[in-house]
Amino acid sequence: MTAKPLSILPDPVLRQVAEPVAEVTDAVRQLMDDMVDTMREEHGLGLAAPQIGLSTRVIVMDCSDEDDADPVIWKMANPEIIEASDDLVSMEEGCLSIPGYRGEVTRPASVTVRYLDVDGIQQDMQATGLLAACVQHEIDHLNGRLFIDYLSRVKRDMIIRKMTKEARFERED
């Protein structure tokens, strides 16, 4: 298992709609393990494959409390929201691919997600609270959507301009 480098805004892979996984193979399981390593190394709650430069519909999450003796690591291929509550909740979100920026995002308070597990078996997951926000955030990545897209146009455009400028300076170095 190996941590991978992150794709940072304005990397175009972050705005692409990711390709579905045809089958959960050993290679997909290895990708999931590498993504968990990357998520942990970067101190994130979740990670989508586009965040490591791969346009494929795979996410991993660990929304456990630091105190949890037995944390739950979610590994999902082709996750999709099949039901969302009408009740909404706002939470402050950040993103490993947009370091240094955070914003208040309003999302459904609970969702049902259908996905393929590490064995390729279809599962349904009910999520509320932090887990619901996290899974929606990661599925957004698979659809080329970022948390900044939920912010005001002014704030979103400011973040994009700053990130693009920083990327330009890094390429010139």
In tens digits, the chain (173 residues) has pLDDT values of 699 999 999 999 999 999 999 999 999 999 999 999 999 999 999 999 999 999 999 999 998 876 777 889 999 999 999 999 999 999 999 999 999 999 999 999 999 999 999 999 999 999 999 999 999 999 999 999 999 999 999 999 999 999 999 888 776 65
Which member of 80, 83, 104, 138 is catalytic?
138
Query: Encoding tokens for residue 35?
Result: 């993504």
Residue 171 has a pLDDT of 63
**Is residue 42 annotated as a catalytic residue, yes or no?**
no
Is the bond preceding residue 10 a cis peptide, omega within 30 degrees? yes
- DSSP letter (8 states) at residue 122: E
Q: pLDDT value at position 167?
A: 86
Question: Where do the structural domains in the chain lie, given as residue ranges?
Answer: 12-172
pLDDT for residue 172:
64
Fold of 12-172: Peptide Deformylase (3.90.45)
User: Environment class of residue 60 by beta-carbon count within 10 Å: exposed (0-12), middle (13-18) or buried (19+)?
Assistant: buried
pTM: 0.95
Name residue 59's beta-bridge partners. 48, 76
Give Cβ neighbours of residue 167 (< 8 Å, ≥ 6 apart). Answer: 8, 9, 10
Residue 134 to residue 14: CA distance in whole angstroms: 17
